[in-house]
Amino acid sequence: MSDTTGKRKALIILSSARELPLSAPASVPSIPIGFFHVELGQILAEFQDDFDYTLATPNGEKP
């Protein structure tokens, strides 16, 4: 399949992790983590005229 858009391609790798385990304090075993769609959306909007994006995670799960 050929690229007819004339845009460059960008691979954006995101984490699919949902929480970060903590060793201390014992009362808080983990904290929620991830990425903010608002922050990513700003980047995508800013470069949408120049790039076609592919979003991926290291383990293939949904971000």
The alpha carbons of the chain give a radius of gyration, in whole angstroms, of 17
Q: Is 62's pLDDT higher than 90?
A: no
pLDDT band at 8 (very low <50, low <70, confident <90, very high): very high
User: What pLDDT was estimated at residue 49?
Assistant: 95
**Backbone CA torsion sign across 22, 18, 10, 50:** negative
Cβ atoms < 10 Å from Cβ of 55: 13
Q: What is the pTM of this model?
A: 0.64
9-58 tens-digit pLDDT: 999 998 888 889 999 998 999 998 877 778 888 889 999 999 999 999 88
3-state secondary structure 15-41: CCCCEEECCCCCCCCEEECCCCHHHHH
CB contact at 8 A, 41 and 26 = no
